[in-house]
């Protein structure tokens, strides 16, 4: 989409106002004080921001008016949830919110639909997981959930993945001030992990690793266990597993 488009959702894009950061901050303060007119001004003053964001989605064949409206919903959510006490520019916070809202819309309106049976399996699996957590006092494994449901491990995995919203593998999920654990650290190993390790001649490289490092890599990439499962088996914290795993891989790469 080019800015030469005169109207989108009845809005003349050539006349969209652009607010300065100072003006945005002043309006946000008024909004927190309950000024509804300030909220409208801030929305109208950031429509060009929405317009710039939806440009990256124009190659999907979607109706631009629809994308613009969805983007505005993301903008409104950003306005309502923005914390003025944080040292963050409003646009820095708003852009991911707008993108997230558009992506949810595109996903929900995608021609590929999750079947009812798969959703049912996923919801039953979540229920079984909660039940087992109470019973075992820990997070159950996928195999334990599958056994509880009387179904296969692959069915449980596929069902749960089908209802999960995509997130970045580098999104932090925990930090104790030193070792940050990312989403990728909590994902079990896969065939691609094994292929990658083979490519860097893992059999020759691991000879210089400690026994603990060797065991962690074997459990993670050969057995496909999560860091939480490895931590439980070895008897150390997940943060320690994360640190040792990254250190071992760094040695192998070196």
Tell me the per-residue pLDDT of 226-254, one tens digit each, with 9 for 90 and over. Answer: 888 888 888 888 888 888 888 888 887 76
pLDDT of 220 above 70:
yes
Residue 44 · residue 71 · CB < 8 Å: no
pLDDT of 134 > 80? The answer is: yes
Question: What is the mean pLDDT of the segment spanning 209-220?
Answer: 84
Q: Residue 15's pLDDT is what? A: 67
In the block, tokens 């049976």 appear at 117
Average pLDDT over residues 22-51: 87
pLDDT in tens, 75-106: 999 888 888 887 788 888 888 888 888 888 88
């Amino acid at each position: 989409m080019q800015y030469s488009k005169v109207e989108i959702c009845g809005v003349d894009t050539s006349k969209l106002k652009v607010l300065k950061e100072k003006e945005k901050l002043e309006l946000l303060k008024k909004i927190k004080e309950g000024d509804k007119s300030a909220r409208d001004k801030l929305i109208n003053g950031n429509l060009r921001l929405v317009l710039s964001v939806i440009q990256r989605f124009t190659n999907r064949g979607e109706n631009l008016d629809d994308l613009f409206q969805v983007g505005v919903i993301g903008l409104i959510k950003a306005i309502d949830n923005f914390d003025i006490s944080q040292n963050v520019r409003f646009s820095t916070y708003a852009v991911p919110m707008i993108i997230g809202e558009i992506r949810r819309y595109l996903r929900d309106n995608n021609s590929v639909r999750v079947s009812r049976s798969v959703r049912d399996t996923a919801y039953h699996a979540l229920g079984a997981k909660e039940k087992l957590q109470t019973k075992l006092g820990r997070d159950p494994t996928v195999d334990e959930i599958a056994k509880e449901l009387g179904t296969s491990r692959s069915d449980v995995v596929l069902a749960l993945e089908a209802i999960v919203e995509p997130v970045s593998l580098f999104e932090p999920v925990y930090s104790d001030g030193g070792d940050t654990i990312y989403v990728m650290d909590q994902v079990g190993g896969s065939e691609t992990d094994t292929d990658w390790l083979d490519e860097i001649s893992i059999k020759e490289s691991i000879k210089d690793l400690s026994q603990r490092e060797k065991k962690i890599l074997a459990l993670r990439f050969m057995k496909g266990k999560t860091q939480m499962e490895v931590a439980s088996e070895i008897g150390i914290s997940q943060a320690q597993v994360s640190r040792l795993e990254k250190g071992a891989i760094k040695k192998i790469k070196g």
